[in-house]
Amino acid sequence: MVATRNSLSHRIESVPKGESIGSAFQSWMGDGLPIHRGDIFHTINRLRKLKFIKRGLEVMEWVIRERPYRPKELDYSYLLEFTSKLHGISQAESLFSRIPSEFQNELLYNNLILGCLNRGLIRLSLAYMKKMRELGHPISYLVFNHLIILHSSPSRKKSIPKILTQMKADKVIPHVSTFNILLKIEANEHNIERLLKVFGDMKRAEVEPNEVSYCILATAHAVARLYTVCETYVEALEKSATGRNWSTLDILIILYGYLGKRNDLERIWGIIMELSHVRSKSYVLAIEAFGRIGDICRAEELWSEMKSRNSLKSNEQFNSLIAVYCRYGLITKATALYKEMEKSGCKPNAITYRHLALGCLRAGLIKEAIKTLQLGMDMAASIKVKRSTPWLETTLSIIDIFADNGDVENAEKLFEELKKANYTRYTFVYNTLIKAYVKGKVYDPNLLKRMILGGARPDSETYSLLKVVDQFRT
Which tens digits make up the pLDDT trace of 140-151?
999 999 999 999
pTM passes above 0.75: yes
Q: Which pLDDT band, with edges at 50, 70 and 90, does 378 fall under?
A: confident
13 burial level (CB within 10 Å; 0-12, 13-18, 19+): middle
How high is the mean pLDDT of the chain?
A: 94
For the segment 321-332, what is each residue's pLDDT rounded down to a tens digit? 999 999 999 999
Q: Is 262's pLDDT higher than 50?
A: yes
pLDDT per residue as tens digits for the range 434-467: 999 999 999 999 999 999 999 999 999 999 999 9
The pLDDT-based confidence of 7 (bands split at 50, 70, 90) is confident
Tell me the torsion sign for CA atoms 285, 286, 287, 293: positive
pLDDT of residue 117: 96
CA angle 376, 225, 289 (to 5 degrees): 60
* Closest to 386 (Cα-Cα) out of 398, 378, 395, 399: 395
Q: Which residue has the higher pLDDT, 17 or 132?
A: 132
With pLDDT > 70 as the criterion, what percentage of the chain qualifies? 99
- The residue ranges of DSSP E strands in 186-291, in sequence order, are none
Closest CA to 129 of 118, 140, 119: 140
pLDDT at 1: 47
Q: For the chain, what percentages of helix, strand and coil (3-state, to nearest 5) are there?
A: 75, 0, 25
Nearest to 151 by CA among 120, 110, 130: 120
Cα–Cα nearest to 110, from 71, 146, 57, 86: 146
**Confidence band (pLDDT; 50, 70, 90) for 313?**
confident
Instruction: Kindly state the DSSP code that residue 313 receives in the 8-state scheme.
Output: -
The answer to whether 431 touches 464, Cβ cutoff 8 Å, is: no
* pLDDT tens-digit series, residues 175-215: 999 999 999 999 999 999 999 999 999 999 999 999 999 99
The band of 391, judged by pLDDT with boundaries at 50, 70 and 90, is very high
The percent of residues in the chain predicted with pLDDT above 90, rounded, is 87
67-122 pLDDT, tens digit per residue, is 999 999 999 999 999 999 999 999 999 999 999 999 999 999 999 999 999 999 99
Mean pLDDT of 17-46: 91
Closest CA to 69 of 105, 104, 39: 39
Round to whole Å and give the CA distance between 49 and 32: 28
Q: With 50 as the cut, is the pLDDT of residue 234 above it?
A: yes
The pLDDT of residue 312: 84
CB neighbourhood size of 148 (10 A): 20
In this prediction, residue 4 carries a pLDDT of: 52
Please say if the pLDDT value at position 3 is more than 60. Answer: no
pLDDT higher than threshold 50 for residue 358: yes
Examine the pLDDT at 230 and tell me if it is beyond 70.
Answer: yes
